[in-house]
């Protein structure tokens, strides 16, 4: 019973870490990264479709993304979607592929991106703490129902806290790496 609560809480916390990694991949740095376009949705036959399902995205050099659609007829729709996504990127089309030059970030923009990364990390820390609270509430409910003893609940809440501390430390480590990546010139 206790093990089930701890295991499900840990799985949820792992999900938070994965979500943070995905969100951090979408935060622009000075380098080209196909993950920058992950959140771009293209209107394809009336359905919003992720760009990576409609085209291959490659990085031929450090500051250039090349988007090659599998269906050439949607090139303009992809171009519009990238512009509409407000990523600060301007694609240029040669009729068959889109080339997206990644501009150098200004110091001011880097600082803004660091703030965005910190805000995202804090949201994930709050999510992990909420999971800890939910797990502790479940454990207290088991104690009230007489399924587990007071000593077991004490040990289980300590284990939940250790789990929380471990995942918050991982969030902090990911944030530190992202800040370093953003501020790198």
What's 146's domain CATH number?
1.10.132.20
- Provide the pLDDT for residue 185: 66
What are the average pLDDT values for consecutive 10-residue runs of the chain, which has 185 residues?
89 94 79 81 89 90 88 89 82 89 83 90 95 93 86 91 95 94 80
Among candidate residues 45, 68, 101, the one where a domain is terminated? 101
Residues 74 and 127 in one domain: no
User: Domain range spanning residue 96?
Assistant: 34-101
Residues 76 and 62 in one domain: yes
Residues 82 and 42 in one domain: yes
Tally of domains within the chain: 2
Residue 45: which CATH number?
Answer: 3.30.1360.40
Q: Sign of the CA dihedral 85, 91, 93, 96? A: negative
């Amino acid at each position: 019973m206790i093990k089930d609560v701890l295991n499900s809480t840990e799985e949820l916390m792992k999900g938070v870490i994965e979500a943070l990694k995905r969100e951090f991949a979408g935060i622009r740095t000075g380098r080209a990264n196909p993950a920058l376009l992950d959140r771009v949705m293209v209107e394809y036959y009336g359905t919003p479709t992720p760009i990576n399902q409609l085209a291959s995205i490659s990085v031929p050099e450090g500051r250039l993304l090349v988007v090659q659609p599998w269906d050439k007829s949607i090139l303009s729709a992809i171009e519009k979607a990238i512009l509409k996504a407000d990523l600060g990127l301007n694609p240029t089309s040669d009729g068959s592929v889109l080339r997206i030059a990644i501009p150098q970030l200004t110091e001011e923009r880097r600082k803004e991106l660091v703030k965005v990364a910190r805000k995202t990390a804090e949201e994930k820390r709050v999510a992990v703490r909420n999971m800890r609270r939910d797990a502790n509430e479940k454990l207290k409910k088991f104690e009230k129902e007489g399924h587990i003893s007071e000593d077991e609940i004490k040990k289980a809440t300590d284990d939940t806290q250790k789990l929380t501390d471990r995942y918050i430390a991982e969030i902090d480590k990911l944030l530190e790496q992202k800040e370093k990546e953003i501020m790198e010139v």
